[in-house]
Amino acid sequence: MSAMSEQTDPAQPIDDGPAIHYSAVARGTPVYSSDGQEVGLVREMLDNYREHIFDGVVFRDSAGALRFADAPEVARTAERGVTLNLTAEEARALGPPEKKGTGGGLGRIFGRRRR
């Protein structure tokens, strides 16, 4: 895993390439906070298979912990980065993803699928 880094100039936008559909985001793509810091690397993108709706992103942070950002917390999915609408501090406070088969019934009811 690459070292997580801070954006040197917050006035400069992150060079993450063109926007892409969430299903095209590759594992290992950097995840950035709204304040420009790299906060992790994509582990998987989740979707509601039956409804074809983006559900969220699971990423591994610099300490190796898995974090889950719900879809409304994701501002942009791009070729070279996923940007959250959370600060780095807020991203570090995110919890882990639900363990498969142990979550509240919504994943089962609505068909949550891992990508």
CATH of the domain at 75: 3.90.50.10
Bigger pLDDT: 103 or 86? 86
The mean pLDDT value for 92-96 works out to 96
Do the Cβ atoms of 46 and 113 come closer than 8 Å?
yes
Tell whether 16 is covered by a domain. no
Structural domain that includes position 93: 22-114
Q: Tell me the whole-structure pTM to 2 decimals.
A: 0.78
Provide the domain count of the chain. 1
pLDDT digits (tens, 9 = 90+) for 18-62: 999 999 999 999 999 999 999 999 999 999 888 889 999 999 999
Amino acid at 13: P
Report the C-alpha gap between 55 and 85 in whole angstroms: 15
Report the C-alpha gap between 79 and 15 in whole angstroms: 10
